[in-house]
Structures are given as structure tokens and as C-alpha cells.
Amino acid sequence: MSTLVIVESPTKARTIKNFLPPGYRVEASMGHVRDLPQSATDIPATVKSEEWAKLGVNVDADFEPLYIVPEDKKKVVRELKAALKNASELILATDEDREGESISWHLLQLLQPKVPTKRMVFHEITSEAIGNALQNCRNINEQLVQAQETRRILDRLVGYTVSPLLWKKISWGLSAGRVQSVAVRLIVNRERDRRAFKSGSYWDLKATLFAPKQEFPAQLVSVRGKNIATGKDFDESTGRIAANRNVELLDEAGAIALQNRITGKTWTVGNIEERPNNRKPSPPFTTSTLQQEANRKLRLSARDTMRTAQALYEQGYITYMRTDSVHLSQQAITAARTCVEQMYGANYLSPQPRQYATKSKGAQEAHEAIRPAGETFRTPQQTGLSGRELQLYDLIWKRTVASQMADARQTTIAVQLQVEDAVFRASGKRIDFPGFFRAYVEGSDDPDAAIEGQEVILPAMAVGDHPECRQIVPSGHDTQPPARYTEASLVKTLESEGIGRPSTYASIIGTICDRGYVQQIQNALVPTFTAFAVTALLEEHFPNLVDTGFTSKMEQTLDDISTGSANWLPYLREFYHGKEGLQILVKNGEKEIASDAARTVHLEGLENVKIKLGQYGAYIQVGEGDNTINASIPTNFTPSDLVPEKIETILKQKIEGPDQIGIHPETNEPIFLHVGPYGPYVQLGSSKDDKAKLKRASLPKGMQLEQLTLEIAVDLLKMPRTLGVHPDTGKKVQANLGRFGPYVVHDRGKDGKDYRSLKGDDDPYTITLERALELLAQPKVTRGSAQVLRSVGTHPADEQPVEIYMGKYGPYVKHGKVNVSLPKDSSPDDLTLEQAIALLATKAPAKSSKATASKTTTSKAKTTAKTGTSTKAKTSTKSSTKSSTKTSKTTTTKTTRTRKATVKG
């Protein structure tokens, strides 16, 4: 007999096994083994007729959840039960946060062990940590489980009641979420601010001066004793100088006149001010700050950051990555200070060990910051890691080590220079001692380069000196609207407002992108027309659900439940059944919300036209009755793009037809500019001609319509360029421009086409066949960044390959046209053919069409809508064709409110 240890993932199981005594068997649960039903087909036949079953929560029986074992977890549960039969002891070693506590509790409910059972927790996978955890096992924390279950029920109630309302009133497939909808509203409000923003213009002068041995810049700050206006002096709602600002606004003529007046005049140093200051290192990483910094420095999404950090934790490289704490253990402080002394010298150590206090709202979860694991820190070079894992470990290592280093000491220098009645300022910065800068500078990849970048050295000057002026240049500026959210700034705002948990931010951002509420343009999160419509509906009819204060209080209540200072049941009753509870609001919304009004998007400054959402996207509507004109808005247009000038262009093309740019110099055919559903494109010949023979080319990314000339259009229509034939197939290789940028394509005939995007300086007009072949030889990455990781074998049903891909939103297994995401805690490296086939069996090929999906008035759609399919469940709902016999076999377990199965330590 042995001791059975259950963790979440195979990778974690392999790592922890190295530190356990002989006689211990480690198995993986592959994440959660039970959950609420994700679709109508998951609901057991015994309760299918019950109205509450569509929610998966019996709202009239103390919110009792209906837990089922998903089809893809049944085999895992069978294997765990079989392993338990040969065990003399069970240790539940899932993660130490609420989610991990919940997984352990569910395992206990399912397995019903008859042997002694313990709960083991640890925040790093090292020999010492595992040894200590074995000696200090405890009971399952019922309060943590209750808090997690309450959170899950709240999310289900919101998602499965409000989402179907959005389907009926706006569009099929939309979703609402307790935190998701607040995040969308933040992004929409920022875009509203950008639309309402009025830009202002101002001018100033920049001078290049020379003192002994060195040129340096100086900026105009005042004229005739009055400060010069800068961007901060403008009112964003008017584009004019704010009423309380007593400043001099220079226009272009005034700037040039001042330039002429002071040119050739004597400059005098009037005042020199030096101000020393110290900068302290940032605290070690929490979940939130790691996501922010990885997004800024490494351009990793929150999802990619958490996925990579999870892998590092499970392999034993870092401590647990879901934490709100900035605290470091004494062991970690000693390890970090040893690194500092060995690598930088004792003078770079902080005089005393640094300990940091957690300031974020409702901080909880793991008790230590994210840091390198172990009592000694491996340097990044010693890990053998590569790619993203190396980059992220390097970031964590540097931040942790820097936290124990001395302050950076620097001096800021301001030199005032007088010429006639104008005053200029030259600013400098001197680093007197780099301190922690030597290891880590926030927002910079290279500490040494960052140190150099932070220093601005001015020449030695004294009051009364007369530096030489070598150049004066007038400079015009326009004030800029508020910056859009990036993933980093959104995460920072969510955390500072106390909305959601940092461990969920990755999935929240992923969901709002998946659902079409937000698109990422470069690194910015840009809301869609759908986001505006949904946010407006929720603000009017469900104001609490999108109120940051209400959501923050909800998080605090969940924290109170986890500590036993609040009761979960009265809270749920008030939230759902109260006088202004969710149940009443949804019923009222069904009656009061008019679909036409809900599908109308109101944008600042567009009062004379209607922006509406239709089956095929957003469109412009003008006129009434028989004179109504509808014109589609290109899918790559964002709400902020929709200014009156662009609306006029779209409507003009709809009414008058496309603009003719000119005549092609070689074919003598007309070239037209069209604006299609995917943006503007040029077309050779009239649409009255044979459409199959028409030649078209999209405008390159970033090109504005007004930049298009006949010469550019002719060049665009040269695409595709045939570069030659592929030496392996004899088939042609071409370069072309597409919706997602320039690319090369190898037409392999019946074997399909092989595409590769161009990189760096590659130019589709000049790229050679040799370079194209080089690109085509590289591993394929599709538009969604889906890359084949490996093949796990062939499917026994048809002998077709079963492969694992890494897509934009994580790893998935693919067979034919069926794609299934890998479970949260499974690794692409560990998946076997048998496991892959089991996953694929949970999802049959989709049979529904867009038309079918859009007909929400049919009885089938009504039934599905009532079940309230959640974000992750929608795909499964659409595609599942499982028979009712399989449904009837779904394993079901109802939660017992007494929670009698307490784990004994």
C-alpha cells in the first residue's frame, strides 16, 4: 500500500514526485473534476424538467448547485478511484488558493475516501518546501471553499440570466459577466472620453545651446513673465485654455515672431538648481504586477504571462504565481541578498533587509510574493530555460534581487537661461549611485541601457555664463486624448478598484476579446460597437452590475465569507431575490427593453445618423421610411474612427457608387476605390464586368484613404507577384498583400496553399524567390498565431493525424475540423494519443449554420437561451451532438450544505 497524492497537472506531478519519500504515488486531476453544467446536454435526465436546472443552481433551495462530472473528466475520476483502492492514505495537494481548495473539496466529495486524508499546501516545489508541507498538513478550509462556491454561483447567476437577455435584445452569442462587464465598461468609458475630447493646439520654441565641449537642449517656459501654455493647461471638453489658467498661448505666427526677435541675442545663465533624490526598488511581483510588467516589457498578454508562470511554478523554478502578497520569506531575503553580494558587491546591498507591505484592496491568497524558488536562486543562465519561460524567469529573478538592493541616488538639475524677455529651461539628471538600477529598471529590458537613458548630462555652467545659441526651432503641438487601456493599465485599474481577483484577469481579458467586445490594435484595447451597445443596456437596466463600487463591495463580501465574518446565504438571497435583485431586473428587462433601441449605438457627435448592429455587423442608417439608406461599416473601423467625414465617405459610396481614382496606364481600365466589409480596397474595372475576372487589392495597414494616389493604386494592383516555382513541387510561389499584411504563398494544388507572413524589412514588391522559400521552410504560424507543437499520432477512426497546436488563446488538440482546448492544468508536452482522443470525443463537428444560430425566435434557440450558456460553454453547446443516452449517464452530485466530509490532518 502507498500514499496517494493528487495534484492538478502532470507537470506538477512529475516535479513533486522528485521530492517525496519512497512509497508515494502522484496522480493529476487535470484541473477541476466537477463543475456546474455547461450546456443543456449536461443536465441529468432526473432534473431536466426542473426550471432551476437550466441555471445549474437551485435558487429556491438555498442556491444548491448542481455539480456534474464533465465527459472529458470521467476517465480521470475512474483512474483516481482505482488508484485510491491501493492507497493507505490520501493527500490532496492542489494549489493553496481558493481555486485549489475548491478542487480538493470536490475531489473529496467524489472519491469518498475510506482511508485517512490530509490537505497539503506549499507555495513552491522544492525539497525543503515539500518536506515542510508533509509535516504540516491540515484540514480543508471550509470557509475558503464556501467563498469560492459563492463566487462561482454569483458568476453563474449573472452569466446565465443576463446573457440570454442580451441574445434576445442585441445579438446571439453575447455574454455578460460579474467582472467581465465592468472591464468592458471601463474600456468603453475611456473611448467615450476620447470621442468627447477636443484637441487644442499650441506652439513653443526649442533651442540648441553650446557650453564648453557640449551641446544641450533648452525649452521655452515663459515670455514677459508669463508661463507658456502646455498640454496640461487645456480643457479636454473644449480644446481651449482652461478658465483658471493664466498662461500665454503661442500660435505659429507668435512662435516665429519670437524666434526672429531673440535670434542673435545674448543668452545668460540665470539660475542653477540641483536637487538630490533617492529611488527605492519596486516590491517583488504579485500576480497583477507581473502581468503588467510582462505586458510592458515582453509584450505578453495576461493569458500568456499566467500560462508561462504556471509552467515555471510546476517545474519548480518559481513560487506560486497566484498571489496578492509582496512579502518575502526570510529564506528568500537571504537568497536575494546573497545574489546581490556575489554579483554586484556588498555596497549594492540595502543597509537592512527590505520587507514590503501589501497595499492592494482585499489582498489574500498565497502568503509570499512571486520569486525564484528555493533557498538559493538560480540565475537565468543556470536554468537551461529558453523562449518565454526564460524571459519571464529573468524578469522575476531581476525584480526579486533588485528588491534587496540599495536605493538609486540621483540628482536632478534645472538651469534657467534668459534671452531678452524669454526664459528657457535646460533639464538634466545625474546618477550618483545606480543602486538597484544595476539589476532592474521597471519598464526596461536592459538595466545598463536604462541607466544611460535616465542620465541627461549638462555641461558645467555657472550663473552669469553666456552659452552660445546654435539653433532655435518653433514647434507645434496638438493635445492628445486620454490613452486607451492596454492590458497592463487595465489590470492596474481593476486591481486598484478592487474588481475581481488578479488570478482571473487573464481569463477576463481573454473573454472580452473572444466575445468581440474588444479588439487589440497594437497594444491597445479598443472597444467595438457591440461593446458600446451592451454597456449602454447594462448601464440603464443593470446599473449595479457595471458599477465599480458595487463590484468592489461584492469582492469584499466574498473575502469576508472566506474569513467567516459574513454569511454566504443571506447575501445570495438579497442579490438574487431582493426587491432590486437580479431576478426582478431580468424580468423587467424582458418587458421594457426594445430590441431596436438596444441595437442602436449612440456616439458623441453623431446625432444626425444612427449606428445600428445587424446580423452582419454594424451599419449606418440615415433617412426614414422608403428613403432609409443603410451602409455597412467596415469591420476594421472602431467607434473612434467613425467621424462625420468617414461617415460621409461610406454613405457617398453607397449612394453614388465607388470613387474612380484614375485610368490604369497599361490596361486603360478605370481603377475604383471601394470600402468593403473588411476595409478599403482598389479594384481594376467596373463591378458590372465579370466579377471572377476583377482584380482587387486591399489598402496596406495604416494607410488612410486620403493618402491613396493613382500611382499607389497601380502598385497595389501588381499583386500578387509570381516569384517562381517551388523546387520540391514545381508549383508557383507568389507574394501578395492581404487583410493581415503582406505574405508569400505556395500553391500546392490539391494539397492546398501554404502561407507565411512577411517579416521585418521584407517587401512584397521586392522579395525574391530565395527569401520566400526561406520563409516557407519555417514552422507555420496562422493568422491566429496557431502553431503546430507536435503530432500525438493518428486517430483510429480514420487514420488522420491528431495534432497539438498553440493558438492565440492557448494550446488545443486538433483532428480534422474538430478543435478542443486543453484543460487548464494540462501540458501540451504530456498529452497522450489516448487522452487526446478522449478530449476530441467531447466535441463533435459543428452542424449549425450562422443562419440557424441567428434565429433566436425558434423553439430550439429559446430552449438554449433559457439554459444561459456561459462564455466557455457556448462552443460546446453549439457543437455537441451527444445522444440523450450519454446525457443520462452524466455523473451528478449535489452539494451537501452540512459539508460533513471534513478532511482530517
- State how far Cα 575 lies from the chain centre: 29
Residues β-bridged to residue 595? none
503 falls in which pLDDT band (50, 70, 90)?
confident
Q: Is the pLDDT score of 782 beyond 70?
A: no
Extract the C-alpha cell encoding 136. Answer: 504540516
pLDDT at 340 over 90: yes
| Dist CA 54 CA 52 (whole Å) | 5
564-615 pLDDT, tens digit per residue, is: 899 999 999 999 999 989 999 999 999 999 999 999 998 887 877 899 998 8
Local confidence band at 370 (pLDDT 50, 70, 90 cut-offs)? very high
Q: How far apart are alpha carbons 491 and 287 in whole angstroms? A: 10
Catalytic residue positions, numbered? 320
C-alpha cell at 769: 524567390
Give the pLDDT mean for 304-319. 94
Alpha carbon of residue 562 to chain centroid: 28
Q: Read off the C-alpha cell for 255.
A: 512662435
Entry field: residues in the chain: 905
Question: Alpha helix locations (H) across 1-73?
Answer: 10-17
Phi/psi at 824 (5° precision): -50, -45
Given a cut of 50, is residue 857 above it in pLDDT? no
Mean pLDDT calculated for residue range 863-872: 36
- Is there a contact between 614 and 635 (Cβ–Cβ < 8 Å)? no
Whole-number Å distance between alpha carbons of 562 and 556: 10
Task: Give which of 604, 636, 643 is closest to 618, Cα–Cα.
Answer: 636
DSSP-assigned states of every residue in 190-238:
HHHHHHH----EEEEEEEEEEETTEEEEEEEEEETTEEBP-GGGB-TTT
- pLDDT at position 357: 82
Q: What is the pLDDT of residues 389-427, one digit of tens each?
A: 999 999 999 999 999 999 999 999 999 999 999 999 999
Encode pLDDT of 422-446 as tens digits: 999 999 999 999 999 988 876 555 5
- All three cell numbers of 420, joined, read 531678452
Return the percent helix, strand and coil in the chain, to nearest 5.
40, 25, 40
**722-775 confidence digits (pLDDT tens):** 999 999 898 999 998 776 678 899 988 777 788 888 887 788 888 999 999 998
Confidence (pLDDT) at 373? 94
Q: Is the separation of the CB atoms in 293 and 491 below 8 Å? A: no
Dihedral, 496, 497, 499, 504 alpha carbons, nearest 10: -20
Give me the phi and psi of 871, to 5 degrees please: -50, -50
> E strands along 336-463, which residues?
408-419, 422-433
Does residue 791 surpass a pLDDT of 50?
yes
Backbone dihedral angles phi then psi of residue 90, each to the nearest 5 degrees: -120, 130
Of the chain, the percentage scoring pLDDT greater than 70 comes to 86
Mean pLDDT of the chain: 85
User: 174-233: per-residue pLDDT in tens?
Assistant: 999 999 999 999 999 999 999 889 999 999 999 999 998 899 999 999 999 999 999 999
Do β-strands 117-119 and 201-211 pair in parallel, antiparallel, or remain unpaired? unpaired
| DSSP of 63-106 | TEEEEE--GGGHHHHHHHHHHHHTEEEEEE---SSHHHHHHHHH
| Planar angle of CA 181, 182, 183, nearest 5 degrees | 90
Q: What is the pLDDT of residue 787?
A: 61
| pTM confidence score | 0.76
Model pLDDT, residue 395: 96
